[in-house]
């Protein structure tokens, strides 16, 4: 975990009212990301959690421009990247500065490429390094950095285990020396012992290369471990955001509370004494959502205004924001 002094540092990424809708035809519109605002400071790790279908992956993909935002601003290093054309983005070298690590280490590596080609492709496109030989040296160094060997450069992805593949994916994302990396469920496909290796490595790399992460994950324990701040999403909107310890120890949104209570803890005595108020029902469809608080239908504290008025993110002290009409104190 980084120092709390990070608060004074420059804002790397400023996300303002970003929206991403998918048209499904027949007048249906899926509100994957609906008016989201947050900031990420340089050197900081922001965790993004929520149930599947809440739009957390869409947020990550929109930030690295895999999706075009339908509204709002994404200000990266002082420039709004949403209205830019492809050419402008290329000029700004955004692909170099922003990278992504994907969830599935099997699907995200091209099976026809050797590991060396996968990692070196970005170097070649951006013409980094004088010649092939120099680029190869860089690939070797990257492999070394993620705990793989030189000899691995000539092998194909299928010759590796899941954990090793994920390391290749990480090496690829590091190749262009980025500032910002989106880790989309980067460790969820791995076994616990391998997951721990990869998490430790991500933390070491962050320190060494001065990286900024957005960690998208459904595993709340992993997010607590790796992040400085955490944002909780529900049906395309942020419901709570704040410093990790603050949100985990004093959650105020009923959804965050329910989510944290649902996580089983690997401590039998703690589990035995634990009182679990089960959150009822399941996440609703984000297609043409109704007005008001989207969590109201599952919320134990829902009052009248919750179904008519959309709650806005409001500070409940310092850096901790909650979008709820009746935050739990």
Partner 1 sequence: MEQKKERLIDVKDLEVSFMTANGEVKAVRGIDFQLDKGETLAIVGESGCGKSVTIQTIMRLNLEPPAVIKGGSITYTNSEKNIKVDITKLNNKQMQAYRGKEFSMIFQDAMTSLNPTSKVGRQIVEAIRKHTALSYMEAKKNAIELLGKVGLPNPEAVFSRYPHTMSGGQRQRVMIALALSCNPSILFADEPTTALDVTIQSQILDLMNTIKKERDMGIIFITHNLGVVARMADRVAVMYAGQIIESGMLREIFYQPKHPYTWGLLGSVPELKKSENKRLLSIPGTPPDLFAPPKGCGFAARCPYCMKACLDYMPGEYSITDSHFARCWLLDEECSTRITPPVGRAVNTGDSDDGVFKTKRKEN
Binding residue (CB under 8 A) for partner 1 from 5, 27, 266, 273: 266
CA 23/CA 19 separation, integer angstroms: 13
Q: Are 263 and 236 in contact (CB under 8 A)?
A: no
Binding residue (CB under 8 A) for partner 1 from 68, 151, 282, 329: 282
The least CB distance from residue 155 to partner 1, in Å, is 15
Residue 131: Cβ within 10 Å count: 7
Binding residue (CB under 8 A) for partner 1 from 24, 276, 303, 309: 276
The least CB distance from residue 71 to partner 1, in Å, is 28
194 binds partner 1 (CB under 8 A): yes
Q: How many residues bind partner 1 (CB under 8 A)?
A: 44
CA 222/CA 200 separation, integer angstroms: 11
260 binds partner 1 (CB under 8 A): yes
What x-and-dash track marks residues 46-75 binding partner 1 by CB under 8 A?
Answer: -----xx-----------------------
Q: What are 49's two structure tokens?
A: 């959690």
Q: Which residues 209-248 are close enough to bind partner 1 by CB under 8 A?
A: 218-222, 224-226, 245, 248
What x-and-dash track marks residues 142-181 binding partner 1 by CB under 8 A?
Answer: -------------------x-x------------------
Q: What are 309's two structure tokens?
A: 């008025």
The least CB distance from residue 197 to partner 1, in Å, is 4
User: 263 or 303, CB closer to partner 1?
Assistant: 263
**Closest alpha carbon to 75 in 22, 7, 10, 122:** 10
The least CB distance from residue 308 to partner 1, in Å, is 25
130 binds partner 1 (CB under 8 A): no
The least CB distance from residue 202 to partner 1, in Å, is 11
User: 21 or 225, CB closer to partner 1?
Assistant: 225
Task: Select from 11-19, 20-28, 85-93, 270-278 the region that touches partner 1 (CB under 8 A).
Answer: 270-278
Binding residue (CB under 8 A) for partner 1 from 173, 195, 212, 256: 195
Residues that bind partner 1 (CB under 8 A): 1, 51-52, 161, 163, 191-197, 199-200, 218-222, 224-226, 245, 248-249, 258-271, 276, 278-279, 282-283
């Amino acid at each position: 975990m980084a120092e709390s002094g990070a608060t004074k540092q420059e804002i790397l990424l400023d996300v303002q009212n970003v929206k991403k809708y998918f048209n499904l035809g027949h007048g249906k519109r899926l509100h994957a990301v609906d008016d989201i605002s947050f900031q990420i400071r340089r050197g900081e790790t922001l965790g993004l959690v929520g149930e599947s279908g809440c739009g957390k992956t869409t947020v990550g993909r929109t930030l690295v421009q895999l999706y075009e935002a339908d509204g709002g601003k994404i200000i990266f290093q002082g420039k709004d990247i949403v209205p830019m054309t492809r050419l402008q983005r290329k000029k700004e070298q955004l692909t170099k500065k922003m990278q992504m690590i994907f969830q599935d280490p099997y699907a995200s590596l091209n099976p026809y490429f050797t590991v060396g080609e996968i990692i070196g492709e970005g170097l070649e496109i951006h013409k980094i390094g004088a010649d092939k030989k120099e680029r190869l040296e860089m690939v070797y160094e990257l492999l070394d950095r993620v705990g793989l060997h030189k000899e691995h450069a000539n092998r194909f992805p299928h010759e590796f285990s899941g954990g090793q593949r994920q390391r290749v994916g990480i090496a690829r994302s590091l190749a262009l020396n980025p500032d910002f990396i989106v880790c989309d469920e980067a460790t969820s496909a791995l076994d616990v012992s391998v997951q721990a290796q990869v998490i430790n490595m991500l933390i070491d790399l962050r320190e060494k290369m001065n990286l900024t992460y957005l960690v998208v994950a459904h595993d709340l324990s992993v997010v607590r471990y790796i992040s400085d701040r955490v944002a909780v999403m529900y049906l395309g909107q942020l419901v709570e955001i704040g410093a990790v310890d603050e949100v985990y120890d004093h959650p105020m949104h009923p959804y965050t509370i329910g989510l944290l209570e649902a996580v089983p803890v690997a401590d039998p005595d703690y589990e035995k004494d634990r009182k679990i108020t089960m959150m009822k029902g399941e996440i609703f469809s984000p297609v043409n959502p109704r007005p008001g608080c989207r969590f109201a239908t599952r919320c134990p504290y829902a009052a009248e205004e919750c179904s008519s008025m959309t709650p806005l993110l409001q500070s409940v002290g310092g850096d901790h924001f909650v979008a709820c009409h009746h935050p739990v104190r």
